[in-house]
A and B are shown apart, each in its own frame.
Chain A
Amino acid sequence: MFRFASVTLAAVMLVMPMTASAQGKDPLSFNRLLPDRATRNAPPTNDGIHDPTNSGTEVLQSPREAFAPLPDSNGGNFVDWVKALQDGLINPRYDLEDPDMSPTVMDLNIVREVKGSMPDVVFPHKEHTQWLDCANCHPAIFIPQRGANQLSMAAILMGEQCGACHGRVAFPVTECRTCHSRPKNTANEDAQ
Chain B
Amino acid sequence: MSVRRWARPKALKAGLFATLLCAALIILPGSKAWAEYGDVLINNYSDDADMRPVVFPHWFHRVRFRCKVCHGDLGFEFKAGGNEINMLKIIDGEYCGACHNGNIAWGVENCELCHSGKPGTETQVHGSTLKSLVTPGNQGQ
Minimum C-beta distance from B58 to chain A (A) = 5
Q: Is the Cβ of B72 less than 8 Å from the Cβ of A132?
A: yes
Q: A33-B134, A76-B38, A92-B63 are in contact. Are A50 and B11 (CB under 8 A)?
A: no
- The interface of chain A, by Cβ under 8 A from chain B, is 2-3, 5-7, 9-10, 13-14, 17-18, 21-24, 33, 35, 39-42, 44, 47-51, 54-57, 59-61, 63, 66-67, 75-77, 79, 81, 90, 92-97, 103, 130-133, 135-136, 157-159, 163-165, 167-169, 172-174
Chain B residue with Cβ nearest A84: B63
Smallest CB–CB gap between A67 and chain B, Å?
Answer: 8
Query: Hey, which bits of chain B sit against chain A, CB under 8 A?
Result: 7-8, 11-12, 14-16, 18-19, 22-23, 26-27, 30-39, 41, 52, 55, 57-60, 62-69, 71-74, 78, 98-99, 104, 110-119, 121, 125-130, 134, 140-141
Q: A81 touching B62 by the CB < 8 A rule?
A: yes
**B116 in contact with A57 (CB, 8 Å):** yes
A24 to B22, CA, bound (A): 13
Contact partner of A5 (CB less than 8 A), chosen from B15, B30, B67, is B15
Q: Chain B: which residue is nearest A2 at the CB level?
A: B11
* Residue contact A133 to B64, C-beta cutoff 8 Å: no
**Which of A6, A22, A50, A173 is within 8 Å of B117, CB to CB?**
A50
Rounded to whole angstroms, the CA-CA distance of A44 and B58 in the bound complex is 13
Name 17 interchain pairs, CB-CB below 8 A, sorted by A.
Answer: A3-B15, A13-B22, A13-B23, A17-B23, A33-B134, A51-B119, A54-B116, A56-B110, A59-B113, A60-B113, A63-B59, A76-B38, A77-B38, A92-B62, A136-B71, A159-B130, A172-B37
* Minimum distance in angstroms from A146 CB to a CB of chain B: 24
Total contacts A-B at CB 8 Å: 195
In the bound complex, residues from chain A placing their C-beta under 8 Å from that of B37 are 75-77, 169, 172
Contact of B34 among A14, A24, A42 (CB under 8 A): A42
What residues of chain B lie closer than 8 Å to A173, measured between beta carbons?
Answer: 129
Cβ contact within 8 Å between A60 and B26: no
CB neighbours (8 Å) of B67 from chain A are 131-132, 136, 165
Contact A159 B141 (CB under 8 A): yes
CA distance A158 to B130 in the complex (A): 7
Contact of A47 among B22, B35, B72 (CB under 8 A): B35
